[in-house]
Structure 1
Amino acid sequence: MRVLTPTAKMHLIGAKNLLLAPIQRNDRLFFSLNVAILSS
């Protein structure tokens, strides 16, 4: 197991956040859609 430099770790975290951000937005969208359907 290699030790990551702080900058490499930052880049990994940034890439992970870029990948996860759209998924989290979609989750919120689906959640609000489900709430709207359930409450109608």
Structure 2
Amino acid sequence: MATSKVVYNGGLRTTSTHLQSGKEIITDAPVDNQGKG
């Protein structure tokens, strides 16, 4: 059974959503990999 859903938003950013609570975590690639840090 899945507990989270991860979506690639483009621009080296992902959003992970915890399915039970709906809480989100947004992550970016590090600056040295051309991300936003």
What is the TM-score of this pair, normalised by structure 1? Answer: 0.23
What is the TM-score of this pair, normalised by structure 2? Answer: 0.24
Larger radius of gyration: 1
